[in-house]
């Protein structure tokens, strides 16, 4: 089995700043002490398996680190952008599970900003403690890029909404407890009006979650059917018919999440690991010019993406949702997802004959990859999964449209 990423795999230079160096040390010693060995380097595709997320989240919450990027007033760690990035780097190096990205990075900040006191009281603690895992129910069969054409209807009946519709391609709904839904609460007027944001318990009668097969070969996608689902009106975030503006803020937060910087860093580290262990024609890959140059270029691009992540995260912490911030988020989404695809393709190529084999995601059964590093067996799945990265969170074409509109007034 290959050695784990060396501490220097974490590349944000914190050595020049004594406080950040001390912070990095604090995180490392916490991870050494508190990350259970059987929880490290477990399979993950963007998000870890539910049981891993929950176990890890409880450990983080005990330490007061349940939500690294949230302000202290909201129950977060209150860290700066740089501290959050250091934390993520060290978590990658230590092989921790992910947190619930949807609850942490998409919904939580929106509840903190737009939710009522009752909603914050009901939903924030379970996100922090890992007691409630979330999924995002925005897209529909006829409303993906053009999200404002959603047809899922929520009709008011006293204190509840009766919701009917069909949400397509909902990541991790099968391992989530709650879903946030973009629904139509009014049929007339401009189509961006008349949309509301509702929170629904996935155990509510009338909700069916069905798996959607994907190239990646493991279950991560679902469709969610809503058939006369009764959702309390108190589960609406913000005013009725004013959900579109909130959804835009939430979608801004999705750009930094889909950048998945920890995964990008892990891919580079894995390429270095293969470069230093695999041979072609009797020579190590890393000693071969074409491999070394390609790796160096990709690593330089990774550092550029890391700088964009830091800028976007700083704008988010400042709750800046202006035009420049929106364009930067779209640029980050474009560059980072393109890089995810090129890095995973490179990894598959670097694995040679093994690159074509797809391992089992659950780590069970006989391991045909035994002579290779532990990460090898999930690489092909990872590459196929990342084909969707330029689609989910808004396709690349749509990001280009946003950049053109916001920066050039086209
Ligand atoms: C792996 C994966 C996970 C997902 N997870 C979630 C989730 O958890 N929750 C959720 O709500 N949704 C999720 N989605 C759905 C995702 O947000 C949509 O697939 C995406 O917004 C694109 O919508 P669509 O699939 O309907 O494609 P369409 O909107 O039909 O687009 C088809 C093609 O046309 C292009 N196109 C469309 N409009 C324009 C335009 N104006 N200009 C130029 N080109 C255009 C698109 O770029 C695309 O190439 C997920 C998707 C994937 C692949």
Domains annotated for the chain, with CATH where assigned, are 7-99 (no CATH), 134-241 (2.40.110.10), 260-408 (1.20.140.10)
Residue 14, pLDDT score: 57
Q: Which atom of ligand 1 is nearest to the CA of 182?
A: 11
Taking the CA atoms of 40, 44, 50 and 53 in sequence, report the sign of the dihedral they define: positive
The CB of 231 under 6 Å from ligand 1? The reply is no
Average pLDDT, the chain: 90
- 99 vs 112: CA distance, rounded Å: 18
Of residues 254 and 50, more confidence is placed in 50
The CB of 212 under 6 Å from ligand 1? The reply is no
When pLDDT is cut at 50, 70 and 90, the band that residue 13 belongs to is low
The CB of 354 under 6 Å from ligand 1? The reply is no
Q: Whose CA is closest to atom 20 on ligand 1?
A: 144
4 burial level (CB within 10 Å; 0-12, 13-18, 19+): middle
Q: Is the pLDDT of residue 8 over 50?
A: no
Contact criterion met (CB below 8 Å) for 77 and 306 = no
If DSSP codes are grouped into helix, strand and coil, which group holds residue 319?
Answer: coil
- 331 vs 129: CA distance, rounded Å: 33
Ligand 1 center from residue 144 Cα (angstroms): 4
Residue 231, pLDDT score: 98
The CB of 169 under 6 Å from ligand 1? The reply is yes
CB atoms within 10 A of CB 324: 11
Residue 373, pLDDT score: 77
The stretch 83-95 carries a mean pLDDT of 89
Within a 13 Å sphere around the CA of 373, how many CA atoms are in the beta-carbon half? 25
The CB of 149 under 6 Å from ligand 1? The reply is no
Q: Whose CA is closest to atom 41 on ligand 1?
A: 398
Reported residue count of the chain is: 410
Confidence (pTM): 0.91
The CB of 395 under 6 Å from ligand 1? The reply is yes
Q: Which atom of ligand 1 is nearest to the CA of 139?
A: 11
Angle between helix 261-275 and helix 323-350 axes, rounded to 10 deg: 30
Q: Which atom of ligand 1 is nearest to the CA of 395?
A: 47
pLDDT tens column, 122-170 = 999 999 999 999 999 999 999 999 999 999 999 999 999 999 999 999 9
């Amino acid at each position: 089995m290959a050695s784990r990423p060396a501490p220097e795999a974490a590349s944000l230079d914190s050595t020049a700043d004594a406080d950040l160096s001390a912070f990095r040390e604090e995180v490392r010693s916490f991870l050494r002490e508190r990350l259970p060995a059987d929880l490290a380097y477990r399979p993950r595709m963007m998000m870890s398996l539910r049981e891993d997320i929950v176990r890890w989240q409880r450990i983080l919450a005990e330490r007061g680190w349940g939500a690294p990027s949230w302000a202290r007033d909201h129950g977060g760690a209150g860290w700066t952008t740089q501290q959050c990035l250091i934390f993520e780097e060290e978590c990658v190096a230590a092989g921790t599970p992910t947190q619930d990205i949807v609850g942490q990075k998409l919904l939580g900040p929106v509840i903190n900003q737009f939710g009522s006191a009752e909603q914050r009281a009901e939903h924030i603690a379970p996100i922090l403690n890992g007691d409630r895992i979330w999924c995002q129910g925005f897209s529909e069969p006829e409303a993906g890029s053009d999200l404002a054409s959603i047809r899922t209807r929520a009709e008011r009946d006293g204190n509840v909404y009766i919701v009917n519709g069909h949400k397509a391609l909902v990541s991790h709904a099968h391992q989530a407890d709650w879903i946030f839904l973009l629904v139509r609460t009014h049929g007339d007027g401009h189509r961006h009006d008349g949309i509301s944001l509702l929170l629904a318990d996935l155990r509510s009668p009338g909700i069916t979650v069905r798996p959607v097969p994907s190239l990646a070969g493991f279950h991560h996608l679902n469709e969610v059917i809503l058939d006369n689902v009764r959702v309390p009106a108190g589960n609406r975030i913000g005013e009725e018919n004013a959900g579109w503006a909130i959804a835009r803020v939430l979608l801004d937060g999705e750009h930094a999440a889909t950048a998945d910087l920890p995964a990008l860093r892990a891919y580079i580290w894995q390429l270095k690991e293969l470069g230093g262990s695999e041979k072609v024609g009797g020579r190590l890959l890393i000693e071969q010019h074409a491999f070394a140059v390609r790796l160096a270029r990709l690593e330089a691009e990774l550092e550029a993406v890391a700088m964009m992540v830091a800028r976007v995260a700083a704008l988010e912490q400042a709750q800046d949702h202006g035009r420049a911030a929106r364009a930067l988020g779209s640029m980050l989404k474009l560059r980072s997802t393109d890089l995810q695809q090129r890095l995973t393709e490179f990894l598959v190529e670097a694995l040679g004959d093994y690159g074509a084999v797809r391992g089992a995601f659950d780590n069970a059964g006989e391991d045909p990859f035994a002579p290779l590093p532990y990460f090898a067996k999930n690489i092909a799945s990872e590459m196929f999964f990342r084909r969707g990265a330029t689609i989910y969170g808004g396709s690349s074409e749509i990001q280009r449209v946003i950049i053109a509109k916001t920066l050039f007034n086209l």
